[in-house]
Amino acid sequence: MNESLSSPPAEAPAAGPAPAGRGLHIGLTGGIGSGKSTVAQRLVERGAVLVDTDAIARALTAPGGAALPEIAREFGPQAIGAEGAMDRDWMRARAFGDPGVKGRLESILHPLIGATARAQAAAAGRATVVFDVPLLVESGHWRARVDRVLVVDCSEVTQVRRVMARNGWPEEAVRRVIAQQATREQRRAVADAVILNDGLTLEDLRREVDRVWDRWHVAA
């Protein structure tokens, strides 16, 4: 039988209740191609307010974005494309080849992302807030900012297949991204619940999300 939901380590107690005055804060993460966005959508359908850190990062690096002046100072005008946004392809190519470039970019973006995410969460009041954070494990500080962590997990073979079909990337490019992300084991180690999204239909996946939601909101 495929046990798609677990609470690692086995028999681990549920996380404590949310602090008074606000709703439950859930950190949602998973590797590229795991199905995390679909899980986030279902959580919103159940009543959560979504704080999408990738969407925040895109806004910060879009034309007129708050991060652009510092990016141009740090990397030069070639980092900004003709349309006025950060040239993501240019930056991605350099970050893949040089971890120092990635670190410098993150040092600009992460404080701005964090401030925006906190403001959006504060505006949610007592609603449950889901922080969609692809690099939750890698960042090191997000675990302490949320009450529960939900990890969407799947095999690397599944990740590669999904991203190749969705994005049209060659297999080598997908595997490079996976290699730069936290391992499956590292994500599961910080999780309060794991949804194993291998071989699930959309309805199966939605039911697994509902199981997590119901359990946590009874305990919250």
Lowest mean pLDDT among 9-18, 83-92, 140-149: 9-18
Query: Are residues 135 and 122 both part of a single domain?
Result: no
Q: Is the pLDDT of residue 63 over 50?
A: yes
Cα 53 to Cα 135: distance, rounded to the nearest angstrom: 9
pLDDT, tens digit, 9 for 90 and up, residues 86-110:
999 999 888 877 889 989 999 999 9
CA distances from 12 to 4, 54, 185, 211 (A): 16, 30, 16, 17
Number of domains the chain is built from: 2
Query: Are residues 89 and 72 both part of a single domain?
Result: yes
Q: Tokens for 47?
A: 């009543």
User: Residue 9: its pLDDT value, please?
Assistant: 36
* Domain range for 112: 62-127
Of the residues 95, 111, 127, the one at which a domain ends? 127
The domain spanning residue 191 has which CATH number?
3.40.50.300
pLDDT, tens digit, 9 for 90 and up, residues 154-177:
999 999 999 999 999 999 999 989
Identify whether 200 is part of a domain: yes
Query: Are residues 81 and 143 both part of a single domain?
Result: no
The percent of residues in the chain predicted with pLDDT above 90, rounded, is 78
Cα 140 to Cα 198: distance, rounded to the nearest angstrom: 27
140, 145, 146, 151: CA torsion to nearest 10:
-10
